[in-house]
Amino acid sequence: MEREAVLVGIDVGTSKVCALIGEVARDGSLTIVGKGVVPASGLKKAVVVNIDQTVRSITGAVDHSERLSGYQIDRAFVGVGGQHVESQNSRGAVAVSSHTREVGREDVNRALEVARALSIPSNREVLHVLPRGFIVDGQEGVKDPLGMSAVRLEIETHIVTAAGTAVRNLAKCVQAANVKIDELVANSLASAEAVLSDTERDLGVAVADIGAGTIDLALFLDGSPFKTVVIPVGGNNVTNDIAIGLRTHLPVAEELKLSHGTCGLRNVEAEDEAINVETLGEAAGMRISRLELCQIIEARMREIFEMLRAEIRSVGEGMLPAGVVLTGGAAQLAGAAALGREVLNMPVRVAGPVGVGGLTDNIMNPAFATAIGLLYWGAKGLEAGEYASYETAPANGLPSRVRDALRSLFP
């Protein structure tokens, strides 16, 4: 199948850094040809706290993927996380300037500029200005106004911003690893590309990427995001609770969570078992019941879902008939979907990436939704002609991809 371009996605997370290299075919299909996954250091709750350690982690992931693929990475789509990521919705309205009174691309761009001219603090940077829909002379629900006769054009946009210092520190780390940035993408929007169906987006759905340190949450309606937020809790909070409750080491607590943990207590009560636990200051350790371990896990996961419920309810009841799609590494905890349905009182499913070929061993699971979603994000932009110049990759390395313009904001 003829290759159109080679894209790179780098997910810089709290617990791991993942670099993926994907070939995009003419038909839009995606094939993974290189992957590198290394433990992350230098980050706390998805925010850089140590430049040198973060650079080493990114460099390690990039080196692994380069060796596996034979390509040399020079540019990448990079995920942005952390509690500093926020969003707001804005409208912009302009008069149609053409003498024929037909909406042109220039009118759309002017409306976008008006929409994004809302008051944003100087210490924040705009990551995305995403059109949600257009209003043409009072007619709502227009997805593509080009060529329509009109006097007044309004646009509804979803604007995602992030703390300028956090963004610059992340960009500095990526560039120090000798990788230029094609685009910075909010993690939740990248994950949505990998796990959501078009039907779910249209009906109304939330995607919650539960990572080690944060939950990246995006709410969709009518096919577009209308709220993007990051909740500063994740799988590490569960591990910490286990370590404190059982007075054990964090690596031991993590192993207990992965090997014996579940959110569903009913099954545990029926077949309880004893587990040996190495404890702090006691050479012999102790024996606990699996039920005791899972009660700690269930209590924290219930609290996490209650925080999700508060965020979802803040936009109104009944807005998400398609429910919540859980992804991210911590979403793989047994019983997560069932507990989510109980607390949120709506459909909940756990999803990983789909529809990708190539070197997919060990990455077609929820923990890699963001990394694969970054490739999908780039492929979608490529298909829409939003990147000015992408050459087909030569056999001896990645293409030199020069963008003559910023990412077009037109859908």
pLDDT tens sequence across 283-316: 677 888 888 999 999 999 999 999 999 999 988 8
Within-domain flag for 148: yes
* Residue 255, burial from CB neighbour count under 10 angstroms (0-12, 13-18, 19+): middle
Question: Nearest 5°: CA angle at 349, between 130 and 38?
Answer: 75
Confidence of residue 408 (pLDDT cuts 50, 70, 90): very low
d(CA 48, CA 287): 38
Backbone torsions φ then ψ of 262, nearest 5 degrees? -155, 155
The sign one gets for the Cα dihedral 112, 114, 118, 124 is positive
Q: Are 16 and 79 in contact (CB under 8 A)?
A: no
- Give the pLDDT confidence score for residue 267 in this predicted structure: 67
Q: Are 393 and 399 in contact (CB under 8 A)?
A: yes
- Give the pLDDT confidence score for residue 238 in this predicted structure: 97
Strands 75-80, 3-12: pairing is parallel
- Give the pLDDT confidence score for residue 119 in this predicted structure: 74
- Give the pLDDT confidence score for residue 270 in this predicted structure: 53
> 382 vs 347, which has greater pLDDT?
347
The number of C-alpha atoms within 13 Å of 407 and in the hemisphere containing its C-beta is: 21
Asked whether the predicted pLDDT for residue 344 surpasses 70, the reply is: yes
Secondary-structure breakdown of the chain: helix, strand, coil percentages, each rounded to the nearest 5? 35, 35, 35
Confidence of residue 27 (pLDDT cuts 50, 70, 90): confident
- Give the pLDDT confidence score for residue 285 in this predicted structure: 77
Within-domain flag for 150: yes
- Two structure tokens written together for 268: 């545990």
Within-domain flag for 180: no
Within-domain flag for 205: no
Within-domain flag for 145: yes
Query: How is residue 248 annotated by DSSP?
Result: B
- Give the pLDDT confidence score for residue 389 in this predicted structure: 41
d(CA 411, CA 408): 8
Within-domain flag for 369: no
d(CA 409, CA 46): 26
Query: How is residue 388 annotated by DSSP?
Result: S
> In the predicted model, what is the mean pLDDT of residues 17-23?
96
- Average pLDDT, whole number, for the chain? 88
Burial readout 261-286 (b: 16 or more C-beta within 10 A, e: otherwise): bbbbeeebeeeeeeeebbeeeeeeee
- Give the pLDDT confidence score for residue 2 in this predicted structure: 58
> In the predicted model, what is the mean pLDDT of residues 355-383?
92
Asked whether the predicted pLDDT for residue 395 surpasses 70, the reply is: no
Within-domain flag for 11: no
Within-domain flag for 127: yes
Strands 43-44, 47-48: pairing is antiparallel
Supply the range of the domain harboring residue 139. 88-162
Total of domains in the chain: 1
Query: How is residue 291 annotated by DSSP?
Result: H
Question: Nearest 5°: CA angle at 303, between 300 and 305?
Answer: 115
Strands 30-39, 16-25: pairing is antiparallel
> Among residues 409, 14, 44, which one has the least CA distance to residue 210?
14
Per-residue pLDDT of 87-125, as tens digits, reads 999 999 999 988 888 998 899 989 998 998 877 888 999
Q: What is the CATH number of the domain that holds 123?
A: 3.30.1490.110
